Amino acid sequence: MANKGEIPGGAQVDRMADNTSNKEAVDPFFADNHLFVPVADHQWPIVYRKEYNMGFLGLEKLHPFDSGKWGKIFNILKARSMVTDDTIVIPEEATEKDLLVVHVQSYLDSLKWSYAVAGITEVPPVALLPNFIVQRKVLKPLRYQTGGTILAAKLAVDRGWSLNIGGGFHHCSSARGGGFCAYADISLGITFLLEMKLIRKAMIVDLDAHQGNGHERDFIQMQDKVYILDVYNRGIYPHDGYAKRGITRKVELEHYTKDEQYLPLVRRHLGEAVAEFRPDIVFYNAGTDCLVGDPLGALSVSPEGIIQRDEMVFRWAREEHSIPIVMVTSGGYQQKTAQIIADSILNLWHKRLIDCQAAEDHIKRAR
């Protein structure tokens, strides 16, 4: 991402500007943005809508990604009486103007060609579909999830934590997509907060099995503002050497790394990262493709290890350092990942690392 970028209306904004100015200095486009929907006290800072889920003529089955996992996560949380339909926050779709805060116009224009989307989603037959179908069945759900991450970013500032049940498209940068990532939702969430003067510095903790080359490219010249801790399998996609220059703390894993090596490494590097850089918010990219048996992640972390990892990150951010944290769910290429993500969220709730007493009271009264 360049130091200066164009926002809707043609105004130039300094990406490196000091964010200590008062609220009156915030551009109305950000301050009054449609993505920041009203949120009631009895709503969890958990963002989801059913339109996150994808289905396009069965072609989604040609990719190992579970394109309905977000709904499965929500339904498990609902079945366990943690949430109800009226106690979560329903996001709006990110518009082209919203996306242009980070993305370049030429990239967004390229998504109007189905073959380009086929390359990003790694489902070649998508190239044969009319683009209006691709927009509705593939890209629109991703735009809802992107709007969800931007909304969750502000919710974390307001509430101390938040969770977007979708999002985490960490292979997408301002100018290119890939790896099933069409929009740079993490970069957008951070940039919105910077432009709104709500934060001065952010940390990305990327624990997806793959290198987060999208946000690394976006913030490669902003390392005084955005610190990136990336723990990934060095032997798999995307092998982006240029983007690695954007990583502040790089932890490269070997194939089939297990809990015994993985969890202590994450713990140590979290501690060292916060000693080097004190952020105003943490963006936690909580991919589950490090799970043993994942066909793309090629690591060997157990389901219990993923639950322990997420607890470790939330405890580190919330209890040990009082830093707001927003979690996105990112990658994971097995049918059982939805259950593991839901179990991890439930564990955070049971440990009171996430809570919303007003939501819990509301649910009890409604029974």
Q: How many CB atoms lie within 10 A of CB 108?
A: 15
Active site residue 63: no
How far apart CA 52 and CA 94 sit, in angstroms, is 12
Single out the residue of 89, 51, 46 nearest to residue 71, CA to CA. 51
Q: Which residues contact 204 (CB under 8 A, 6 or more apart)?
A: 186, 190, 212, 215, 219, 226, 227, 228, 229, 230, 282, 283, 285
Contacts of 239-242 with C-beta under 8 Å, sequence gap 24+, read 239/211, 240/211, 240/213, 240/216, 242/217
Q: Which residues contact 252 (CB under 8 A, 6 or more apart)?
A: 232, 233, 234
Cα distances (Å, whole numbers) of residue 94 to 68, 124, 136, 151: 20, 26, 14, 10
Which of 171, 210, 215, 362 is flagged as catalytic? 171
Cross-strand pairs, 34: none
How far apart CA 115 and CA 137 sit, in angstroms, is 15
Q: Which amino acid type is present at position 252?
A: E
How far apart CA 119 and CA 116 sit, in angstroms, is 5
The helix or strand, by DSSP H or E, that contains position 143, with its residue range, turns out to be helix 140-159
Q: Which residues are catalytic?
A: 171
